[in-house]
């Protein structure tokens, strides 16, 4: 009888819950084991100088390799943030990206920057300076080889602590960029307050640059402002030659997108980099 009612209780439980909640719980449990089971991998997407076509950097993008296939970050990063798991996960990303950058230097590939995404929680919870410093020294990597991609949401939180951390990053020599620029709260005041090196123009503006005059105007304005502030610009999500041409006309420095290369596993990216070298 106990077994029978147990089964009924279970059935009631599942029927009462919506599927996405159940899916989330399962994902959450499995995500906890992903790090120790070494199911996390980094893909790398090249970043090119628009004028010369040379690769000047790569962005590390996290993937979760499960038996059912590759899970994109949009599916698990929000969960990792909710559970705080993003902190150890993000530390692993920094270590692994630095290790890979060192491997490519040792293999004789031309020096380039390795860009890593940071989440707001990681920025405020973790002792990020120690994580970054340890990763750089473990890989014997110059600080200027590492670029940290910040989001606008990081910059609007806890301004004093953020400022102190960013200043320490500057002092270390690590490069800083603002990801998805133009989609957040877009207070331009933080460009004056925080020392960043590069703005990453969000792909939504790039997507519409050839069809929508407003997007084109926004890109032009961002590039001009960046140039006056001595910041570099990179356009994300470049998919077509006509987008590249429109970007070239604005004076944008760098490009990243499927037109040039998709995010790739390390070995494939290395082959691409050798082909371009
Ligand atoms: P993001 O940093 O803005 O990365 C750019 C995203 O655009 C990537 O998606 C990339 O695969 C995609 N992309 C690149 N070129 C193109 C293109 O030409 N067209 C289109 N439609 N998409 C393109 P992905 O890899 O799925 O990553 C999504 C987001 O997840 C990232 O956006 C970033 O915010 C976050 N993320 C990825 N890895 C990490 C990580 O290690 N830590 C943290 N905290 N967040 C990460
Ligand atoms: Mg990014
Ligand atoms: Mg972005
Ligand atoms: Mg994005």
64-75: pLDDT as tens digits: 998 888 988 998
Question: Which ligand has an atom closest to residue 74 CA?
Answer: 1
Is 60 exceeded by the pLDDT of residue 254? Answer: yes
Q: What is the pLDDT of residue 18?
A: 56
The pLDDT of residue 215 is 93
- What number does the ligand 1 atom closest to the CA of 149 have? 2
What share of the chain has pLDDT > 90, as a percent? 69
Which pLDDT band, with edges at 50, 70 and 90, does 24 fall under?
Answer: confident
* Ion ligand 4: protein residues whose beta carbon lies under 5 Å: 180
> Which atom, in ligand 1's list, is nearest to the CA of 81?
44
At 42 the pLDDT is 98
Q: Is the pLDDT of residue 257 over 80?
A: yes
Q: Among the atoms of ligand 1, which is closest to the Cα of residue 180?
A: 3
**pLDDT greater than 80 at residue 84:** yes
* ipTM metric: 0.98
Torsion angle of the four alpha carbons 180, 261, 75, 211, in this order, in degrees rounded to the nearest 10 = 50
DSSP H helical segments within 159-240, as ranges? 159-172, 189-193, 203-207, 213-228
The per-residue pLDDT for 27 is 80
Per the prediction, the chain carries an average pLDDT of 89
Residue with tokens 């390799």: 65
Q: How confident is the model at residue 134 (pLDDT cuts 50, 70, 90)?
A: very high
Paired residues of 138 in beta bridges: none
Please give the full DSSP string across 23-70, using - where no structure is assigned.
Answer: HHHHHHHHHHHHTTTT-EEEEEEEEEETTT--EEEEEEEEEEEETTEE
Length of the chain: 277
Shortest CA distance to 264 belongs to which of 83, 41, 77?
Answer: 41
Distance 89 CA to ligand 3 centre (A): 19
Note the pTM of the prediction, 2 decimals.
0.92
Partner residues linked to 256 by β-bridges: none
Q: How far apart are CA 155 and CA 163, in angstroms?
A: 8
What is the per-residue pLDDT across 220-232, written as a single tens digit (0 to 9) for each?
999 999 999 999 9
pLDDT beyond 50 at 101: yes
How far is residue 121 from each of residues 100, 133, 155, measured CA to CA in Å? Answer: 24, 19, 12
Tens-digit pLDDT profile for residues 160-208:
888 889 999 999 999 999 999 988 776 677 787 788 999 999 999 999 9
Ligand 3 center–CA 180 separation, angstroms: 4
How far away, in angstroms, is 61 Cα from ligand 1 center? 6
Binding pocket residue ranges, ligand 1, CB within 6 Å: 45, 61-62, 72-74, 77, 90, 93, 117-119, 149, 179-180, 203, 236-239, 257-258, 263
| pLDDT recorded at residue 23 | 75
Element (H, E) at 97: helix 86-106
């Amino acid at each position: 009888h106990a077994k029978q009612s147990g089964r009924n209780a279970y059935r009631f439980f599942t029927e009462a819950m919506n599927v996405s909640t159940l899916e989330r719980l399962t994902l959450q449990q499995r995500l906890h084991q992903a790090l120790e089971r070494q199911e996390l991998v980094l893909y790398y997407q090249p970043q090119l100088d628009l004028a010369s076509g040379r690769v000047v950097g790569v962005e590390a993008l996290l993937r979760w390799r499960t038996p059912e296939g590759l899970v994109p970050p949009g599916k698990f990063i929000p969960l990792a943030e909710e559970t705080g798991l993003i902190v150890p996960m993000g530390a692993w990303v920094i270590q692994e990206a630095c290790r890979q950058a060192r491997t490519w230097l040792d293999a004789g590939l031309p020096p380039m920057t390795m860009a890593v995404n940071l989440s707001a929680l990681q920025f405020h919870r973790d002792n990020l300076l120690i994580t970054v410093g340890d990763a750089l020294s473990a890989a014997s990597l110059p600080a200027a080889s590492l670029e940290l991609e910040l989001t606008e949401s990081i910059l609007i939180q806890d301004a004093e602590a953020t400022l102190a951390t960013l200043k320490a990053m500057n002092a270390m020599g690590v490069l800083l960029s603002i990801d998805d620029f133009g989609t957040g709260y877009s207070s331009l005041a933080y460009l004056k307050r925080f020392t960043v090196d590069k703005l990453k123009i969000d792909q939504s503006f790039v997507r519409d640059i050839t069809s929508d005059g407003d997007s084109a105007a926004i890109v032009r304005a961002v590039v001009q402002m960046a140039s006056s502030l001595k910041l570099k610009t990179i356009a994300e999500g470049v998919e077509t030659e006509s987008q590249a041409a429109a970007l070239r006309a604005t004076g944008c420095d760098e490009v990243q997108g499927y037109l040039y290369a998709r995010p790739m596993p390390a070995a494939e990216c290395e082959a691409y980099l050798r082909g371009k070298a």
